[in-house]
Amino acid sequence: MTSAIDQINAAVHLVAPELILVITVCVMFVTGPFLVTEAGLATPGLRKRWVALSLVAIAFAAYAWWGAPVEPSDAGMFRTDALAWYVRGLTLALGAVLAVAFIDQIDDSHAAEGQACMLAILAGTNLVAIANDLVVLFLSLELVSIPTYVLLYLPRRGDANREATAKYMLLSIFSSAIVLYGMSLLYGATGTTSLAGIAAAQAHDPGAASLLTRMAAALLLAGLCFRIAAVPFHFYAPDVFQGVSSAAAAMLSFVPKAVGFVALLRLLPLVDGAAVADSAAQEPALRVLLAVLAVATMLIGNLLALRQQHLHRLLAYSSVAHAGYMLVGLTVGPGSAPVSGVSALLFYLAAYGITTIGIFALLAGATSSQSPMRTQTDLAGLSRLHPAVALALAICLFGLTGLPPTAGFTGKLNLFFAAWSAGTQLGRILAISLALNAAISAWYYLRLIAVMFLEPPAEEAAPAKLCLAPAVAGAVCSAATVLLFVAPQWLWDAAARFSP
């Protein structure tokens, strides 16, 4: 009994930031309905108070995260290490931006539920990073998925919004079933759900139940590729992005990718060490499969983005392409020198998250019922109507393109060097593919900038009132992407601490 209590106490210490978020979620869900009348009316401005509570909870969680040790620590179901520390910090920082971006996109009567779902998603993302057991990992993935369905539906409940939410929910349930089936096969092959136990079993007898392990690898990769929107599991992304609000699209562009890649970093070494091992010669099958996925995802995402006029659909295909860039780092793994593929992946995840959330936040800030920012033509003359927003948006678009002076340039350069320095033909193919796709993407990103600065606004267009909070959040992201170009070393050091 004493041992069990000690384990619980140790686990509570490890999950302190997540507990703070979950407790706040419970408070919001319990108290929120009492502040809304039976007719569904709430005090004007109530949503700002819920956003303030969310930011307070995130601040306390960040304080608990900052004081947590980076050194590996294990308490059975949970473990902390450099990856968990990095993901927690990144998630909390960008979660604060997302909370602010939602401030004017959910009405006062539903703001409590919206902010509660946002905090639950952040807690689930962090729990994925610290999970040390298949059961905990799956439950953490669902803690991200289920609140996402609600959050997608709350801002705008029209036909397009209902369709987008239904598509995402049904396909997400399908992908979760695939992941769960893969986990069950992995349990059948090793006889344990503990990640440490699975690793020990594989190390003791690598050939045991190899067929089950390979089937588990295929299923886990397929299910998690849905979350990162990798080809051929990307087809839902443009329709869902088009039907949801800008803030919801910002969340979808980053959180599922963070969850998916963190889960892959945890699981792939267990199902096939060659996936992220130093030598691809031992077992190249999974590495080659990852390389094919990376090239196909980059190419298809960028080519389809060239044809889009709707901003959300364009950015959805852009998100697909960036999943391909990050798959390059996952394929290369930690063995390349002097730049590790895993470190380059984690650095690029941060750079991409800051940039893409900044774009959607700026679109949310500039969007109103009089001047909706939905298509490329809606950006015409934005530099004259809102010059500060246009400048911040241009910087973020430069970041997605991979041009200096932005963190996107540093991130793509790290991925290129990681692939090229792997010293293999596969690595060089990936590096060349990445460079060519970055050039293709420049066409549609720079086209948006040209529309903002070179085309005149429509004759009836007038400067609409900005939604200040999301516009400021987007401006902060824009400034951050420039600062990370000027001083990237601290983030790179944090990403490089993790070694699978």
pLDDT tens digits for range 235-255: 899 999 998 888 999 999 999
Tokens of 290: 């990852």
Tell me the C-alpha distance between 171 and 173, whole Å: 5
Per-residue model confidence (pLDDT) at position 104: 82
**Of 138, 212, 202, 132, which is closest to residue 173 (Cα–Cα)?**
138
Q: Are 298 and 437 in contact (CB under 8 A)?
A: yes
137-165 pLDDT tens trace: 999 999 999 999 999 988 766 788 888 88
Residue 278: burial class (beta carbons within 10 Å; 0-12, 13-18, 19+): middle
Residue 170 CA to its chain's centroid (Å)? 20
The pLDDT, as a whole number, for residue 275 is 40
Which carries the bigger pLDDT value, residue 74 or residue 166?
A: 166
Which two three-digit tokens encode residue 398? 């430069």
Token pair 């009567």 is at which residue?
109
Could you give the CA distance from residue 105 to residue 102 in angstroms, rounded to a whole number?
A: 5
Per-domain residue ranges for the chain?
272-500
- The candidate with the shortest Cα–Cα distance to 275, out of 224, 236, 204, is 224
Spatial CA neighbour of 379 closest among 276, 453, 469, 281: 453
Distance set, CA 263 to CA 129, 225, 237 (Å):
7, 11, 20
DSSP-assigned letter for residue 275: G
Whether residue 376 is predicted with pLDDT greater than 80 in this model: the reply is yes
For tokens 């209590």, the residue is: 5
Helix, strand, coil % (nearest 5) of the chain?
Answer: 75, 0, 20
Predicted TM-score (pTM) of the model is 0.92
Strands (E), 382-480: none
Whether 360 and 101 have beta carbons less than 8 Å apart is answered as yes
Question: Each residue of 293-333: pLDDT tens digit?
Answer: 999 999 999 999 999 999 999 999 999 999 999 999 999 88
pLDDT of residue 136: 92
Pairwise CA distance, residues 322 & 253, whole Å: 10
What's the pLDDT at 294?
Answer: 95
Longest dimension (CA), the chain: 75
Distance of CA 217 to the CA centre of its chain: 22
**How high is the mean pLDDT of the chain?**
87
Rg of the Cα atoms in the chain: 22
Return d(Cα 455, Cα 372) in angstroms, integer: 17
Q: Who contacts 394 (Cβ-Cβ below 8 Å, separation ≥6)?
A: 449, 452, 453
Check residue 279 and give its pLDDT: 39
The lowest-confidence range among 267-271, 341-345, 482-486 is 267-271
334 vs 426, higher pLDDT: 426
Closest CA to 140 of 160, 150, 158, 125: 125
